[in-house]
């Protein structure tokens, strides 16, 4: 059995406010779908951030609908989870992917955490913030128990793993991942990553387009952007990396000011040879120059030949300042925030809370930041009593006996003929039946409203 694994499409993203870049994301998504159909796979897995945000534009929705209809014609099913960009943290809120369930999209969610495609278990959990790590690990562990019942299994997850993330920016550690899945269909990290893990393969296919200019890096030059075709017919899955040509070139150029005229002329020739206007990050270094004067020279030489120009100037004086800063190891805002919190509280969970709040507030997601705060206080101040009432996907969704009950199957359901009666055959969905705790929830919510709480309570 062969399937395509892709992730982080970010449909609707208008990079630098440019309509042309938004259209580039639609273009490259369509190119991926064309190539997937050409590869004649059995199904597709999308590991989150299908859309740039939880309220996609009409154009973004139509771009995905067009692709979905093409896949339906080819009888290729697609499974997907929500990522951090297209999730809505409010309890009971639905991600935009749910709009396409009637067109054949199989959404992996807390309500429907598991499907079966042929003889392969496909299960997972949508994005979980690092401050809710306990719920994430519980979900992983119990989906792992479910996977033991199948010859082949796939875990779909949109989380950053510590090995490939900046310090303290991950949601889970590699050592905490279950080790009994044949394939780990990961999303969230935009570089291509492939690694043997447990008995299978752990893969981040990377983003489909260059979402940040920093993604035009060595990883991109080696692996490109695209998707992965996975063959499950072997003891350990075999992979084919499929690269998709980008609609437009990204250039990151560094020019020595002492050779400025010669280098800018060569750059102009290269850019003018392209079919589409390029994106250009240009840094001028060394020497003693006036930045405004050099900027005018750049605009005059290539300003009309690029779609977007991001200049950066580092004369000798600036280079010396950077050297001094580096020697004194000045910390970035994330590190400074965590350093101060560590000095006062020394608690890892408070550090993770601060990063979750910073990530959400920095992009204007105030409501989500409030929800994260409420969950944190209910979990740690009330010793977990109110956790399951505030999480979209709490431990109760996935823990032990409840997983079997909520998916409508038991230990005896996995013998021969009974399998098709209890597990999804690519059309049936499972509904989780969580015990009503409304009275307990109301009680704890009243406590939260009537009592002032400080982080000092956690020392």
Tell me, what CATH number does 106's domain have?
A: 3.60.21.10
Residues 265 and 242 in one domain: no
Give binding residues as ranges: 8, 10, 49, 84, 158, 188, 190
Tokens of 294: 């050099």
Nearest to 29 by CA among 8, 43, 56: 8
Residue 115 near residue 106 (C-beta atoms within 8 A):
yes
> Looking at the structure, do residues 43 and 103 belong to the same domain, yes or no?
yes
pLDDT at 332: 66
Last residue of a domain, one of 266, 299, 328: 328
402 is a domain residue: yes
How far is Cα 360 from Cα 383, in angstroms, rounded to an integer? 25
- Per DSSP, the three-state class of 425 is coil
402 shares its domain with 371? yes
> 303 with 397, same domain?
no
* 255 and 229 both lie in a single domain: no
Say if residues 53 and 86 touch (Cβ distance below 8 Å).
yes
Q: For residue 234, give every residue at least 6 positions away whose Cβ sits within 8 Å of its Cβ, in sequence order, or none.
A: none
Do 77 and 44 meet the contact criterion of CB atoms below 8 Å apart?
Answer: yes
Asked if residue 335 belongs to a domain, the reply is no
Shortest CA distance to 295 belongs to which of 266, 262, 255, 322?
A: 255
Told to judge if 85 belongs to the known catalytic residues of this protein, a careful annotator would answer yes
Cα 369 versus chain centre, distance: 18
Can you tell me the distance from the alpha carbon of 123 to that of 108, in angstroms, rounded to the nearest whole number? 7
User: DSSP character for 230?
Assistant: E
Give the active site residue among 5, 85, 170, 380.
85
Q: Note whether 84 and 208 are same-domain residues.
A: yes
207 lies in some domain: yes
Q: Within this chain, do residues 254 and 179 fall inside the same structural domain, yes or no?
A: no
Continuous segment of H or E residues that includes residue 241 = strand 238-243
Residue 221: count of CB within 10 angstroms of its CB: 8
Distance CA 108, CA 97 (A): 10
Overall residue count recorded for the chain in this entry: 459
Residue 71 lies in a domain: yes
End of a domain among 328, 359, 383? 328
Which run of H or of E encompasses 38? Answer: helix 19-39
Q: Name residues whose C-beta falls within 8 Å of residue 188's C-beta, 6 or more positions apart in sequence.
A: 7, 8, 47, 48, 49, 83, 84, 127, 158, 159, 160, 204
Looking at the domain assignment, is residue 410 inside a domain? yes
Range of the domain at 449: 1-247+340-459
Residue matched to tokens 């996977």: 147
Query: 203: which 2 tokens?
Result: 């893969």
**Last residue of some domain: 301, 328, 355?**
328
Residue numbers in the known binding site for Mn(2+) are: 8, 10, 49, 84, 158, 188, 190
Q: Do 19 and 45 fall into the same domain?
A: yes
Radius of gyration of the chain (CA): 24
Q: Is residue 273 part of a domain?
A: yes
What is the per-residue pLDDT for 453? 39
Q: Determine, yes or no, domain membership for 416.
A: yes
DSSP 389-404: HH-SS-HHHHSHHHHH
Question: Quick one: 92 exposed, middle or buried, by C-beta within 10 A (0-12, 13-18, 19+)?
Answer: exposed
170 belongs to a structural domain = yes
Residues pairing with 313 in the sheet: 284
Encode the chain (459 residues) as per-residue pLDDT tens digits: 999 999 999 999 999 999 999 999 999 999 999 999 999 999 999 999 999 999 999 999 999 999 999 999 999 999 999 999 998 766 667 899 989 988 889 999 988 999 999 899 999 999 998 888 899 999 999 999 999 999 999 999 999 999 998 777 889 999 999 999 999 999 999 999 999 999 999 999 999 999 998 899 999 999 999 999 999 999 999 999 999 999 999 999 999 999 999 999 999 999 999 999 999 999 999 988 888 999 999 999 999 999 999 998 888 877 666 666 665 555 567 677 777 777 777 676 777 778 778 877 776 667 667 767 776 766 555 443 333 333 344 444 444 444 434 343 333 332 333 333 435 443 343 333 333 434 444 444 444 344 443 444 444
Model pTM score: 0.73
User: Cα separations (Å) of 127 from 9, 13, 171, 230?
Assistant: 15, 19, 9, 23
Looking at the 3D structure of the chain, how many domains does it have?
A: 2
Give the pLDDT score at 329.
55
Does residue 113 sit in the same domain as residue 262?
no
Q: Are 221 and 210 in contact (CB under 8 A)?
A: no
Q: Which residue has 């009593």 as its token pair?
A: 385
Same-domain check for residues 349 and 232: yes
Neighbours of 177 (CB within 10 A): 20
Residues 88, 55 contacting (CB under 8 angstroms): no
Please give the backbone phi and psi of residue 3, each rounded to the nearest 5 degrees, phi first. Answer: -140, 160
Task: Tell me what pLDDT residue 253 has.
Answer: 93
Do 146 and 279 belong together in one domain? Answer: no
241 and 266 together in one domain = no
CB 12 within 8 A of CB 59: yes
């Amino acid at each position: 059995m062969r399937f395509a694994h892709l992730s982080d499409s970010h449909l609707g993203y208008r990079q630098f406010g440019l309509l042309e870049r938004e259209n580039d994301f639609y273009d490259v998504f369509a190119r991926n779908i064309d190539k997937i159909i050409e590869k004649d796979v059995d199904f597709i897995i999308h590991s989150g951030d299908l859309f740039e945000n939880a309220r996609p534009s009409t154009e973004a929705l139509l771009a995905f609908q067009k692709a979905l209809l093409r896949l339906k014609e080819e009888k290729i099913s697609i499974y997907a989870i929500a990522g951090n960009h297209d999730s809505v943290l409010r309890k009971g809120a639905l991600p935009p992917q749910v709009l396409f369930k009637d067109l054949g999209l199989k959404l992996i969610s807390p309500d429907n955490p598991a499907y079966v495609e042929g003889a392969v278990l496909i299960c997972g959990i949508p994005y979980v913030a690092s401050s809710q790590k306990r719920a994430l690990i519980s979900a992983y562990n119990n989906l792992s128990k479910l996977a033991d019942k199948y010859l082949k299994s796939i875990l779909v997850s949109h989380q950053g793993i510590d090995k490939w993330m900046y310090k303290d920016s991950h949601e889970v550690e590699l050592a905490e991942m279950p080790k009994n899945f044949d394939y780990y269909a990961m999303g969230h990290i935009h570089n291509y990553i492939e690694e043997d893990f447990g008995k299978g393969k752990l893969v981040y296919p990377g983003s489909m387009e260059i979402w940040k200019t920093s993604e035009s890096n060595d990883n991109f030059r080696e692996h490109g952007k695209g998707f992965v075709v996975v063959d499950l017919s072997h003891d350990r899955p075999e992979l084919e990396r499929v690269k998709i040509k980008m609609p437009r070139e990204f250039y990151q150029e560094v020019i020595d000011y002492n050779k400025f005229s010669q280098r800018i002329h060569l750059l102009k020739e290269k850019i003018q040879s392209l079919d589409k206007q390029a994106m250009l990050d240009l840094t001028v270094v060394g020497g003693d120059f006036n930045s405004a004067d050099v900027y005018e020279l750049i605009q005059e030489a290539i300003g009309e030949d690029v779609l977007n120009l991001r200049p950066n100037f580092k004369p000798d004086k600036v280079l010396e300042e950077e050297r001094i800063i580096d020697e004194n190891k000045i910390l970035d805002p994330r590190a400074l925030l965590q350093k101060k919190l560590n000095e006062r509280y020394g608690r890892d969970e408070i550090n993770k809370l601060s990063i979750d709040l910073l990530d959400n507030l920095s992009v204007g997601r105030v409501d989500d930041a409030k929800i994260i705060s409420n969950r944190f206080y209910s979990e740690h101040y009330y010793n977990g009593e109110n956790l399951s009432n505030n999480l979209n996907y709490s431990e109760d969704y996935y823990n032990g006996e409840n997983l079997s009950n909520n998916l409508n199957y038991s230990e005896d359901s996995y013998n021969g003929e009974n399998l098709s009666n209890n597990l999804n055959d690519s059309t049936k969905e499972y509904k989780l039946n969580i015990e009503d705790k409304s009275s307990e929830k109301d009680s704890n919510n009243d406590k939260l409203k009537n009592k002032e709480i400080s982080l000092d309570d956690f020392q």
